[in-house]
Structure 1
Amino acid sequence: MTTATAPAPAPTHAGAPQRGLVGRIVDRLGGGALQVVMVLLGLFWLVPTLGLLVVSLRTPEVNAAEGWWTIFTKPAEITFESYSSLLASGFTASFWNTVAITVPTTVLVIGIAAMAAYAFAWMDFKGRDTLFLIVVGLLIVPIQIALIPVAVIYGGVGIFGTIPGVVLFHVAFGLPFAIFLLRNFFVGIPSSLLEAARMDGAPEWKIFVQIVFPLGKPAIASLGIFQFLWVWNDMLIALVFANTESQPMTKALQSQMRQFGTNIDILSSGAFMSLIIPLILFFAFQRYFVQGMMAGSVK
């Protein structure tokens, strides 16, 4: 006599997470459709930039009478008179002042912060943790409280109103975040690589140059983009520490607004010239930027 056995229950996947609404929508759309949506969102994000360009290429009378989107039906309204007026007003000197301030600041911050971050991450010295806590604490120090003391110091040493003075201020206040960011990235580098290099007799500077710095390119590129944009678009430090000869584009545009009031053609052309360089930089290094943003998020 045989006994009947109950059928085995169907396996359940109690531990499998359920897909949310957004996840199910993404699965239904598929990769191709999702890419199309992302491209459309990117183009929508560029609409204000396109509008600024169109406004800068038309006369003030036309801009006051029509919206910028009418340029597609009236391309004959395009003119470069606003750019000619802007360049004639001495804006070119302000552009090169911005370059002279932004590029050295970005290079110095990256170089100094990378070396300091390597020391905090992989070199053992007395007071390392205390110094790093001090660096982290400097992140919450507002720039405004240092404006007057630094201005007094600059006046005493004779660099107030000069480009080196503006660069030094940006470097000093850019280093805490840069060191914090790069140190956290460098800690994630496998220690076996560094120990193998030390066993081969490589000095610390060689380990930093040939191993740590190349592996840190995503984070360094992200830091470079951040630092470049911060300094390029800064106006507070320029208003305090730069004079007429050393003023960047932000201060020059502010003075143009005070001089000409609502002179939209001059302001729009100047704003687009100050915008185009960071935009090109971001698109050129966006791959490294995304890698740097995701670095360290998954262990």
Structure 2
Amino acid sequence: MRMDMSRFLTHALLLLMVVLWTLPTVGLLVSSIRDKDQLSVTGWWSALTTTERTDQGRTDAAAAQVQENGQYVISGDLFDGDAAGRQIQFFGVTNSTYNDNAAGSTITLKNGSNLTVNADGSYRWVSAEPFETTRGQRVLYIAETPPRFTLENYAEVLESEGIGRSFINSFTVTIPATIIPILIAAFAAYALAWMQFPGRSVLVAVVVGLLVVPLQMSLIPILRLYNGVMPLFGAESKSYLGIWLAHTGFGLPLAIYLLRNYMASLPKEIMESARMDGASHFNIFTTMVLPLSFPALASFAIFQFLWVWNDLLVATVFLGNNDRQLVLTGRLRELIGSRGDNWEILTSGAFISIIVPLVVFFALQRYFVRGLLAGSVKGG
């Protein structure tokens, strides 16, 4: 009985943690597809409820009046044909009376004219004397709006705000910056795990030591070295090659450490049998070690992909703020500065930025824990 209660509490705690981690993502998704007017006044948790909002409109001017039965009439629609399911509940013509008159009722204005506003936004303004107003009558109202979801926010950020171009730029940076360190680290990890040569233990200690070096401490020296070397080869200082090399350098220590520990935990008997059959180190590495090390490769690929995709510091230093090469995180930073009040733009842009990492993680997550545990527990 005590064991069952302990298991129940463990599962309940795990479920609570999953809910707490998932809620922000769900809120971001719901906010990104909501109507921008509703998003500006209510939170995402009220997305499925009808909302009330105070707004205003203006009737047509005197030029739109017609004469009916000896009276002058101006009629029209306060919503201008864009009702979107809204229904007016109360209306008025001053800030103190906009919630005094129910929709469908008629009120008398100071000039003796009568104004009727219906729930669907249509109005009828009647006067015994000709209208002379050049701006129309301002009408304040309280309207109920049903939930409305749209993909217009995504269309706007992809087309007008440059998110689409930055999305491609992030792929251009991230894919090579993930593949290159994996290729280099796989060879290095095999050598450190299964090949005997002088100084191997020292190299392993250096790799472990590099894991604790802060990126910010090494960024400036690497940048100065890069700016001094690349002009010798005729390469641009702000280019994709530079950021690929930078991310490769920053990612190699962790990659070598994880892969070396995992490869060292592989059965020794397999390696000895392959050597007895005359297989070279290269054949053993390509035909046996690499396929068996896929969980560790997938674990590092997730780490590296998420790090590079969400990076802003290295991208700013090695690519700059050139609009043609600006990555997604840099574009979102600019949107926060220029469109900080437009929540529909920020939420849709932010959700676009997390779609790819989510897909990568869920596609490889079955290998994630297995690769980390095997590499950390059985390292030799």
- 2:278 pairs with 1:168: no
How far residue 132 of structure 1 moved from its aligned partner, in angstroms, is: 1.7
Residue number in structure 1 paired with 2:348: 269
**Are 2:258 and 2:372, in contact at CA under 8 Å, matched by a contact in 1?**
no
Residue number in structure 2 paired with 1:79: 150
- 2:265 pairs with 1:188: yes
Deviation string 1:26-64 (CA, Å, 9 cap, x unpaired) is 45x4xxx97687566534432211110111112443222
Match of 1:91 among 145, 150, 163: 163
How far residue 118 of structure 1 moved from its aligned partner, in angstroms, is: 0.5
1:191 partner letter: K
Match of 1:51 among 23, 27, 32: 27
The structure carrying a bigger strand percent of its residues is: 2
2:31 partner letter: V
The structure carrying a bigger helix percent of its residues is: 1
**Are 2:261 and 2:376, in contact at CA under 8 Å, matched by a contact in 1?**
no
How far residue 159 of structure 1 moved from its aligned partner, in angstroms, is: 3.4
1:109 partner letter: P
Distance 1:34 1:130, change over 3 A: closer
Which structure 2 segments of 5+ residues have no match? 51-145
Alignment of 1:152-163 (within 5 A): 152-156=224-228, 157=230, 158-163=235-240
Residue number in structure 1 paired with 2:365: 286
Residue number in structure 2 paired with 1:141: 213
How far residue 234 of structure 1 moved from its aligned partner, in angstroms, is: 0.8
- Inter-partner Cα distance in structure 2 for 1:71 and 1:98: 31
Moved more, 140-149 or 222-231: 140-149
Residue number in structure 2 paired with 1:260: 339
- Inter-partner Cα distance in structure 2 for 1:249 and 1:298: 37
1:208 partner letter: F
Q: Count residues in correspondence.
A: 275
Distance 1:265 1:160, change over 3 A: farther
How far residue 78 of structure 1 moved from its aligned partner, in angstroms, is: 1.0
Deviation string 1:60-100 (CA, Å, 9 cap, x unpaired) is 43222111012223574212222122112221111011111
Distance 1:297 1:260, change over 3 A: closer
Residue number in structure 1 paired with 2:328: 249
- Inter-partner Cα distance in structure 2 for 1:93 and 1:60: 23
Match of 2:18 among 25, 42, 48: 42
Residue number in structure 2 paired with 1:11: none
How far residue 168 of structure 1 moved from its aligned partner, in angstroms, is: 0.9
Deviation string 1:199-219 (CA, Å, 9 cap, x unpaired) is 101111110111111111111
- Inter-partner Cα distance in structure 1 for 2:289 and 2:239: 35
- 2:122 pairs with 1:122: no
Residue number in structure 1 paired with 2:204: 132
Name the TM-score, length of structure 2 as normaliser.
Answer: 0.67
- Inter-partner Cα distance in structure 1 for 2:5 and 2:296: 32
- Inter-partner Cα distance in structure 2 for 1:54 and 1:42: 18
Which structure: larger Rg?
A: 2
- Inter-partner Cα distance in structure 1 for 2:224 and 2:48: 54
Q: Which protein has greater RCO, CA pairs closer than 8 Å, 6+ apart? A: 1
How far residue 148 of structure 1 moved from its aligned partner, in angstroms, is: 2.5
How far residue 297 of structure 1 moved from its aligned partner, in angstroms, is: 5.7
Moved more, 72-81 or 162-171: 72-81
Residue number in structure 2 paired with 1:199: 276
**Are 1:97 and 1:163, in contact at CA under 8 Å, matched by a contact in 2?**
no
Deviation string 1:138-187 (CA, Å, 9 cap, x unpaired) is 11222112332333333342433212211110100100011011111111
Moved more, 280-289 or 172-181: 280-289
**Are 1:102 and 1:232, in contact at CA under 8 Å, matched by a contact in 2?**
yes
Name the TM-score, length of structure 1 as normaliser.
Answer: 0.84
Distance 1:232 1:150, change over 3 A: same
Moved more, 287-296 or 166-175: 287-296
